[in-house]
Amino acid sequence: MIRPIRYAALLVPAVLLSGCVSLGGKVPDSLLTLTPDATMSAGTTISGDAAGALAVAEPEAAAKLSNTRVPVQVDATSVAYLKDAQWVDAPAKLFRNLLGETIRAKTGKLVIDNDETALTPKRQLRGTLIEFGYDARSMQAVVTYDAVLDVDGQKVKTRRFSAQVPATAPEAGPVSAALNEAANKVASDVAEWVG
């Protein structure tokens, strides 16, 4: 009789604790990604020496972008995250891939947009992703990227690029479509600047 009571006493805290602890959040029905408007056709070859190429580094990112959720600027001092919206990867990585593909497609130049350490191009594009989310006050998706173009440590240029696109509703579908459009606009402007 004592043995079943002892087991029950051990089991009760475990059951109660399981209601408080979650080892993973609810997975959304679908994950979000970025799709470039400008892409290279299959079979297209771009060649050149590594020194003459452009290296596109993964941007630094504001703290609110250091996860796979979509930030919502509620007011001047409050940030929340959009319900049921999650990126397939960190926004900075997705943006670098989009940026590299857009620059490659629009300029026809050799672009290295991975972390290949054996290749050291003289031209380096790096920067900071300042905004990459939804602004509830203006009901717009906002992408802001501070770019730094460094040519062999001799000539450095900086420029801020930003785009805002209205989102029809503060939901995953409309916001992700607007963010994709805004990110492509920024990437296109950057491609023109570095081209």
Contact 167, 136 (CB under 8 A): no
Q: Report pLDDT for 109.
A: 87
Instruction: State which H helix or E strand residue 56 sits in.
Output: strand 54-56
Residue 1 pLDDT exceeds 60:
no
How many Cβ atoms sit within 10 Å of the Cβ of residue 165?
A: 18
What value does the mean pLDDT take over residues 7-35? 60
**pLDDT band with cut points at 50, 70 and 90 for residue 120:** confident
Q: Report pLDDT for 3.
A: 58
| Least confident residue range of 11-25, 87-101, 142-156, 158-172 | 11-25
Tokens of 80: 């929340």
Can you tell me the distance from the alpha carbon of 170 to that of 112, in angstroms, rounded to the nearest whole number? 35
Which residue shows structure tokens 């290279």?
40
Residue 66 pLDDT exceeds 70:
yes
User: pTM to 2 decimals?
Assistant: 0.82
